[in-house]
């Protein structure tokens, strides 16, 4: 009974660990303007291009709030509630307003692609801790010796990969200063995706000196 419980607990733990390992966010590519020698930006407009307004607002709020003291992040929806206002035709009006309100940077983020892929996980054998003696006699030792070896059968699962493109522009000129593409694999939720990508963006902006460290 005790060995059966141990085996069930171990199996559940292994599956949980495998599922957690499948969820990750990594930097795929990154570029920085090598000629930029300016100081950390003071006020950055944060614009997230999203199909749903709720997603846009949630992502902009989280990203703007992640900036450290010394760099103010402003969600774009507070200035432009309708995302359609941010377009090429309104370029001059947008630039004039941002300059008037003291912005020196604009950060954009968008979902570049979503890909689904079936992944096969081959069988895995694990050695788990078991009880130490007494073993009774030599003839019963094998029961204890091999009861701690378990095999998880092979299985197939689907991965969903989200590619997020982020770009930082200088205001008022509009010159690109930095860009990064991240890949998030099978996040548990939209909130987890936003949180993980936001953390990477914030960290890289600090490392590159674009926001206060």
User: Domain for residue 125, yes or no?
Assistant: no
Q: Residue 6 above 50 pLDDT?
A: no
Strands 124-127 and 149-152: antiparallel
Residue 6 lies in a domain: no
Where in the sequence is the domain holding 96, given as residue range(s)? 24-118+159-207
CB atoms within 10 A of CB 73: 22
pLDDT tens per residue, range 87-98: 889 999 999 999
Is 150 among the domain residues?
no
Q: What is the mean pLDDT of the chain?
A: 83
**Distances from the Cα of 11 to the Cαs of 5, 129, 149, 170, in angstroms?**
10, 13, 11, 52
**38 pLDDT band (50/70/90 cuts)?**
confident
72 falls within a domain: yes
Residue 5's pLDDT is 45
Q: What is the mean pLDDT of residues 112-135?
A: 72
Q: Does the residue 130 lie in any domain?
A: no
Q: How many domains does the chain have?
A: 1
Mean of the pLDDT values across residues 160-182? Answer: 94
Instruction: List pLDDT tens digits, range 69-83.
Output: 899 999 999 999 998
Closest CA to 83 of 109, 102, 63: 109
Categorize the per-residue pLDDT at 162 as very low, low, confident or very high, splitting at 50, 70 and 90: very high
How far is residue 199's CA from residue 203's CA, in Å, rounded to a whole number?
6
Q: Using the structure block, give the residue that is written with the tokens 């495998």.
A: 18
Contact at 8 Å (CB) between 157 and 119?
yes
CATH number of the domain where residue 105 is located: 3.30.160
Q: How far apart are CA 159 and CA 21, in angstroms?
A: 12
| Domain assignment of residue 46, yes or no | yes
């Amino acid at each position: 009974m005790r060995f059966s419980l141990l085996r069930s607990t171990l199996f559940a733990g292994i599956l949980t660990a495998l599922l957690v390992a499948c969820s990750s966010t990594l930097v795929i590519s990154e570029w920085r303007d090598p000629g930029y020698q300016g100081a950390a930006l003071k006020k950055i407009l944060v614009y997230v291009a999203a199909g749903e307004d709720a997603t846009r607002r949630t992502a902009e709020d989280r990203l703007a709030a992640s900036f450290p003291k010394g760099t103010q992040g402003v969600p774009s929806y507070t200035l432009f509630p309708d995302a359609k206002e941010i377009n090429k035709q309104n370029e001059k009006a947008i630039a004039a307003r941002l300059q008037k309100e003291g912005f020196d940077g604009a950060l954009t983020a968008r979902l570049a692609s979503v890909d689904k892929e079936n992944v096969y996980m081959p069988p895995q054998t694990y050695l788990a801790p078991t009880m130490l003696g007494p073993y009774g006699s030599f003839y019963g030792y094998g029961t204890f010796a091999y009861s701690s070896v378990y095999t998880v059968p092979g299985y197939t699962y689907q991965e969903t990969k989200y590619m997020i493109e982020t770009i930082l522009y200088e205001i008022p000129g509009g010159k690109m200063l930095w860009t990064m593409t991240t890949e998030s694999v099978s996040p548990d939720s939209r909130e987890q995706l936003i949180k993980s990508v936001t953390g990477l963006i914030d960290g890289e902006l600090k490392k590159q000196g674009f926001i206060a460290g």
